Amino acid sequence: MHNKIILITGANAGIGKSTVKGLAQEGAKVIMACRKKEKGDLAKAEIERHYPKAKLEVIECNLASFHSVKNAASQILQSYEHIDVLINNAGLFSSHKKMTEDGVEMQFGVNHLGHFLLTKLLLPLIEKSSYPKIINVSSVAHLHGTIDFDNLKDGKTPYNGLEAYAQSKLANVLFTRGLARKYPNIASHCLHPGVVNTSFGNKYSKWYLSLFWHFWKIFMLSSEQGAATSIHLATSDRLPKGKALFFDEKQKMRSFSDMAKNDILVKKLWDYSEQLIEEV
């Protein structure tokens, strides 16, 4: 992985930080895209204490803000000639309905739409790599997801956080399949990292969900185990191009849901996502 340039979102904590550690050990140059630069700098310093030869750079990128995503992409486009691997890792879960600053339901906005915009903006650099890859961190929760296009912006129906999360993870898979079809020269794949012992289920959850998450942490994977599949895909030289695959935490291929296999839905989500990012 020497001379390889990898960009990962959500790089300052949890699975993202463990992924950075693993890739740094492999000798890759890692661009750490973080919601807050201060937290990214702290994570960078911590990693460098353990791995002094790590090649890291922090870029501020708030996926809940199109403005922030565009600024981050602009910095990267000016600083780098190519990107070998883009890992769209950042994500959140919320029990309560929140909206991004651009007026989109928060889980859909961060987990899918911010990554959709970032990827589109960085495609010119990704396509310059000799073996380009886009890796989207999804979840088996996509198996229960549907896309409610009527409520992604200013929805009026009662909010269910788990359904919104499953919807955003389905969007990750549909986006991956869209990338594979539109850009067959790029190895575009997605994965389920496993249920990982992080604060993911505590931050924005109702008290009983947070309590459940807390007590089940003893049975969950470590962040290092959760990062293993992302590292495996980023470093593999055997990933196919032009056909999206879905991997689990054991690096085995899994089946997509029937909804995720729907080519009409792939196109509809892509077109709708483009419409949303162009409105602002």
165 is catalytic: yes
b/e 246-263 (16+ beta carbons within 10 angstroms → b) = bbebeeeeeebbebbebe
**Is the confidence at residue 250, as pLDDT, over 70?**
yes
Q: What pLDDT digit, counting tens, does each position of 218-239 carry?
A: 545 677 888 999 999 999 999 9
Residue 151, exposed/middle/buried by CB under 10 A (0-12, 13-18, 19+)?
Answer: middle
Residues 199-217, mean pLDDT to the nearest whole number: 46
Please, what is the end-to-end C-alpha distance for the chain in angstroms?
37
What CA–CA distance (Å, rounded) separates 203 from 140? 21
What's 5-196+224-279's CATH class? alpha beta
Q: Quick count: other Cβ atoms within 10 Å of Cβ 19?
A: 30
Model confidence at 115, pLDDT cuts 50, 70, 90, reads very high
What CA–CA distance (Å, rounded) separates 121 from 106? 21
**Is the confidence at residue 213, as pLDDT, over 90?**
no
In the set 51, 165, 208, 272, the catalytic residue is 165
Residues 126-154, mean pLDDT to the nearest whole number: 91
Model confidence at 216, pLDDT cuts 50, 70, 90, reads very low
Q: How much is the pLDDT for 179?
A: 98
Short-list 109, 132, 95, CA closest to 208:
95
Model confidence at 206, pLDDT cuts 50, 70, 90, reads low
